[in-house]
Amino acid sequence: MPNIKLPDGNSLNFDKKVNGFQIAEKISKSLSKQALIISVDGNLKDLNYEIYHDCSVKIYTAKDKEGLETIRHDTAHVLAMAVQEIFPKTQVTIGPVIDNGFYYDFARKDPFTEEDLRKIEKKMMEIVDRDEPTHREVWKRDKAIEHFKKAGEIYKAEIIKAIPKEEEVSVYFHGKWHDLCRGPHLSSTGKIGKYFKLTKVSGAYWRGDSKNEMLQRIYGTSWPSQKELDNYLKMIEEAEKRDHRKLGKEMDLFHFREESPGSVFWHERGWNLFQKLIDYMRLRQKKAGYKEINTPEILDRGLWEKSGHWEKFGEHMYTSTTPDEKIFAIKPMNCPGCVQVFNQGLKSYRDLPLKMSEFGKVHRYEPSGALHGLMRVRAFTQDDAHIFCTEDQITQESLSVTNLILDIYKDLGFKNVILKYSDRPEVRVGDDKVWDKSEAALLEAVKESKLEYSINKGEGAFYGPKIEFVLRDAIGRDWQCGTLQVDLNLPERLGASYVDKDGSKKIPVMLHRALFGSLERFIGILIENYAGKFPFWISPLQVVVIPVSDDFDKYSKEVANKVNNSGINCQVDLKNHNLNYKIREHSLAKVPILLICGKKEVDSNSVTIRKLDSNDQEIMKLDKFLEKYTALNQAASN
């Protein structure tokens, strides 16, 4: 006589036993149609799971995260079925749900082609039409291993070996095809619907370890309705349109070339933007009490050995040998140089916290496969700073970094920021007591920030715990930019000290922090966030002056000069084209303000303003324009 408690507080009574289908039917007809899986006392189960005892249940549909994930998980199974039907010798491995979809890793000699994907999709449709019923069996571990080994599924057998002893080994059947799986699953293959698509094939290491063999991964996406699938595909298209590599080319911001893979050739417009961000950051940091310094790009090998970089980071470092055979390294990080500035001259506890900022260009020899436009490069500029302080000051200083970063992100159009807190990794330096203290101090700052945060166990740097600042862009993608790291190691290694109140020498704590992170990456993110249509104050080229005909070239040049002299980036277009042509060209280049100059304007000493994406025309006295737009140009910097 199980008594079934429902989420709304009501309960139902059944004779003997009951399953999810029967409960759903009893609640409502529409629910029974939409029901996908059920949770019994918080554990997700198949709908035909038999309940003999009192419990609370919740029935999930495609509207719930759990329901949607099950659809995707089932689609992954159907993918594996289809692959094995078409390519019988292929081994299956794992097929989890990911954001917006799923993947399945296969072991097979020949690579899957785009054509194969279409073939597999067709087969998947067939399997959906066949509506193969699902059923679940629990096997003995040894039997399961034996079975999969015999079937030539070596990877599956390995997975079973790795399942903890106390867990049961369950095998799901869809018709005859079966797979080792924890479940839960939908009641038949027809339930997943046909709103899926296989999106790409790629390589992936077995168990995510680059020492292991490479498998073939097929990615797919799956949704409860055609509309949601279409929306998702449209979002992908939108992301492609915003691709900063494409826009960077179109807007004449930068380019890459073979002679220096992963390093940016900045064009005038892109560099304008770059400088503007630095100007802005410089102002903000000055107000926040930072002192800007600059240190050498190339430093003797000995310093890097002392700092530990030579050993821990060596494979990412560029080195340079001088004609007299000395070895120098091109800095991959700014910290050792900064510590040396701290080390020059005796420091007192009264100097702390000492915040030193540096726009340092660093070089890292990144693996070739990691390079990606501006997002991942081999030479980049950090808006770096190092805060030397006492252990007691960690929380306060971390908090002020967090507040500064939030404010800055807001100015640049990002309102959603979350934190990722990472604590001690297995391989680390320093005493556990000091770790305890600094982790606690940093976590306190995280909590006090009142922001949403996640804890990444064991992902801290080898020298201390860290926070990463993740921002969400206009189309919902997350990017990691800023970072704050507590360093318990480097000051000591490089002999940094200050004189405390009692006259004794103490080692300071150092906080590393970067707000944009890498200027290059941040610009990439900005381009994609705004789809190239920047707010006026950071626009790569802010104003273009266009004469109505060449009779007005002289006046247009004068206007452009005045605009430039007021600190606004401006060009005049004197090319031999008509007005319409020029408006189109500069609009496509996403210049926010076009100033049209013809007879009217010359006579009244004014300009006609045409804003991007607007057909409105506004005529304004030149003086007034300068006044208004100079103020706008400063807007976010105050």
Partner RNA sequence: GCCCUCAUAGUUAAAUGGUAUAACAUGUCCAUGGUAAGGAUAAAUUUCAAGUUCGAUUCUUGAUGGGGGCACCA
630 binds RNA, rule: CB under 7 A = no
Tell me the sheet residues that pair with 268: none
Residue among 10 and 615 whose Cβ is closer to RNA: 615
Residues 6+ apart with CB under 8 A from 110: none
C-alpha pair distances (Å), 490 with each of 191, 306, 481, 618: 58, 9, 23, 58
Which 447-476 residues touch RNA, going by CB under 7 A? Answer: 468
- Of the residues 45, 512, 513, 610, only one is catalytic, namely 512
Backbone phi, psi, residue 344, to 5°: -75, 120
Q: Is 384 a catalytic residue?
A: yes
C-beta separation of 384 from 359 below 8 A: yes
Tell me the window of 46-54, 123-131, 427-435, 573-581 that interacts with RNA (CB under 7 A). Answer: 573-581
- Minimum CB–partner distance for residue 425 and RNA (Å): 10
- Of the residues 45, 244, 284, 364, only one is catalytic, namely 364
Q: Is 382 a catalytic residue?
A: yes
Pick from 551, 624, 628, 630 the residue near RNA by CB under 7 A.
551
Pick from 43, 231, 565, 578 the residue near RNA by CB under 7 A.
578
Which 46-105 residues touch RNA, going by CB under 7 A? Answer: none
- Of the residues 84, 156, 335, 383, only one is catalytic, namely 335
C-beta separation of 475 from 235 below 8 A: yes
Residue among 217 and 276 whose Cβ is closer to RNA: 217
The one-letter amino acid code at 390 reads T
588 binds RNA, rule: CB under 7 A = yes
Pick from 322, 344, 576, 638 the residue near RNA by CB under 7 A.
576
- Minimum CB–partner distance for residue 103 and RNA (Å): 8
594 binds RNA, rule: CB under 7 A = yes
The one-letter amino acid code at 388 reads F
245 binds RNA, rule: CB under 7 A = yes
C-beta separation of 363 from 331 below 8 A: yes
Nearest-angstrom CA–CA distance, 33 and 62: 11
487 binds RNA, rule: CB under 7 A = no
Question: What angle in degrees, to the nearest 10, is found between the helix axes of 622-634 and 553-565?
Answer: 30
SS3 string, 384-426, reads EEEEEECHHHHHHHHHHHHHHHHHHHHHCCCCCEEEEEECCCC
373 binds RNA, rule: CB under 7 A = yes
584 binds RNA, rule: CB under 7 A = yes
> In Å, how far from its chain's centre is CA 613?
29
Nearest-angstrom CA–CA distance, 378 and 522: 15
Pick from 599, 621, 624, 628 the residue near RNA by CB under 7 A.
599
Q: What angle do CA 168, 169, 175 make, to 5 degrees?
A: 130
Tell me the window of 41-49, 271-279, 571-579, 620-628 that interacts with RNA (CB under 7 A). Answer: 571-579
- Catalog residues that contact RNA under the rule CB under 7 A: 111, 113, 200-205, 208-210, 214, 216-217, 245, 249, 256, 258, 261-262, 364, 366-373, 376-378, 380, 468, 480-481, 483, 514, 517-518, 520-521, 548-551, 575-581, 583-585, 587-588, 594, 596, 598-601, 608, 610, 612-613, 615, 617
